[in-house]
Chains A and B, each alone.
Chain A
Amino acid sequence: MEIKIRKNILEKNLTEADKNRSFFREKKVFVLNMMSSPGSGKTQTLCRTLAQLMPDIQVGVIVGDICTTNDADRLAKTGAKVTQINTDQFGGDCHLTAPMIDTAARQLGCDDLDLLIVENIGNLVCPAEFDIGENARVVVLSVTEGEDKPVKYPLMFQVSDAAILNKVDLLPYLEFDAALAVENMKTVHPGMPVFELSAKTGQGFEPWLEWLRQQL
């Protein structure tokens, strides 16, 4: 005997993500999900982004990490409201889920925020599958990784609304082909804006900030 079910296995997370979306809409806060592999310079990108946006734009950050609070500590120095989710309490998950965001967002309080940034766990695979109720997704790739990352992890680049190619100040010392990396991103996701920048020096930062301001 066959029993029909016809359900998305992740439907529980999707339902929770929709609840988050209504909560954020009510609070009038724009939610950005930042994803990358470990070591791409996502935290440094956020530190510089926050330094440029605050205090005109009120920003809160939810940092997802498997263990430490190192990233949250760095980000708190910008004056933004920061809260940390350590996924080891949830079995060391490699991604954030909608219920974790709900808890963290309520802990942070969203009343006075214009922008809430979720720094997802460093991983180009799992976070791409989990809707957390965000308004936009950004993937960060750096020039110390391979140019072929976008074609190796296509879902991550396909689901992102914009991409950052970070650490371009290192290009003179590397054999990294930046044009090829951007080309690869655009074959996976045509029309996606790609910002080539250095979070360390600030080079190329303005177009990224402009894009972000336009989203709000």
Chain B
Amino acid sequence: MHEMGIAQELVRIALEALPRDLKDPKVASLNLRIGKLSSVVPHSLTFCFEIITRDTPLEHARLDIETVPVVIRCDTCGRQWEADTPVFRCPDCENGQVRMISGREIDIDSLTLME
């Protein structure tokens, strides 16, 4: 369970990104991209986020989480595919060396301020 640490970092980065000249900023949403293979549980992350943002500009901010699919490429034959189960073996050449193109993201893309 490392979602609390991730939530803390998320809050730190978001607060740092707020324009300094803004008086009493309120954040409406944080837009995240979380890879399907990353071991971050969105529900736990949201829970931790809600706890630590009380009385901050991030209080009541919504976490909009975009799930990024796991995309694998076989270096041996060049085949690229989206994996929906943890089977990363190349369907064409069986044992080729594979590489993950996406699916491990734990990124904050942007934040939206309240009007």
Do the beta carbons of A189 and B88 come within 8 Å of each other?
yes
Do the beta carbons of B6 and A190 come within 8 Å of each other?
no
Given A125-B39, A128-B39, A129-B2, residue A190 in contact with residue B109 (CB < 8 A): no
**B9 contact set on A, CB distance < 8 A:** 9-10, 12
**In the complex, which range does the number of interface residues on chain B fall in?**
35 or more
Q: Mark B84-112, 1 if CB is under 8 A from A, else 0.
A: 01111110001111101000111111111
Which chain A residue shows the least CB distance to B32? Answer: A9
B68 within 8 A of A: no
Which chain B residue shows the least CB distance to A130? Answer: B2
In chain B between 30 and 83, which residues have their CB closer than 8 angstroms to a CB of chain A? 32, 37-40
Which chain A residue shows the least CB distance to B105? Answer: A8
Most interface-central of B5, B19, B38, B85 (chain A CB within 10 A): B5
- CA–CA, A155 to B104, complex, Å? 9
**B4 contact set on A, CB distance < 8 A:** 91
Which chain B residue shows the least CB distance to A97? Answer: B5
In chain A between 123 and 144, which residues have their CB closer than 8 angstroms to a CB of chain B? 125-126, 128-130
Secondary structure type dominating chain A contacts: mixed
Do the beta carbons of A93 and B5 come within 8 Å of each other?
yes
Do the beta carbons of B107 and A8 come within 8 Å of each other?
yes
Do the beta carbons of B1 and A1 come within 8 Å of each other?
no
- CA–CA, A93 to B2, complex, Å? 7
8 Å CB contact of B89 from A6, A126, A128, A190? A190
Do the beta carbons of B106 and A10 come within 8 Å of each other?
yes
| Nearest CB of chain A from residue B23's CB, rounded to whole Å | 14
- CA–CA, A119 to B5, complex, Å? 21
Do the beta carbons of A190 and B2 come within 8 Å of each other?
no
- CA–CA, A128 to B111, complex, Å? 27
Do the beta carbons of A2 and B88 come within 8 Å of each other?
no
**A94 contact set on B, CB distance < 8 A:** 1-2
Which chain A residue shows the least CB distance to B6? Answer: A9
Which chain A residue shows the least CB distance to B13? Answer: A7
**A5 contact set on B, CB distance < 8 A:** 13-14, 17, 108-111
The 7 closest A-B pairs by CB, nearest first: A154-B86, A126-B2, A1-B113, A125-B39, A187-B87, A151-B86, A190-B89
25 of the cross-chain contacts (CB-CB < 8 Å) are A3-B18, A3-B110, A3-B113, A7-B13, A7-B107, A7-B108, A8-B107, A9-B9, A9-B107, A9-B108, A11-B13, A93-B5, A95-B2, A128-B39, A129-B38, A129-B40, A153-B39, A154-B86, A154-B88, A155-B39, A186-B95, A187-B88, A190-B94, A190-B95, A191-B95
Please list the residues of chain B having a beta carbon within 8 angstroms of any beta carbon in chain A. Answer: 1-2, 4-6, 9-10, 13-14, 17-19, 32, 37-40, 85-90, 94-98, 100, 104-113, 115
Apart from A4-B109, A191-B97, 16 more pairs, CB < 8 Å: A3-B18, A3-B19, A3-B113, A4-B110, A5-B109, A5-B111, A8-B105, A8-B107, A94-B1, A129-B2, A129-B39, A129-B106, A155-B38, A187-B89, A190-B88, A190-B96
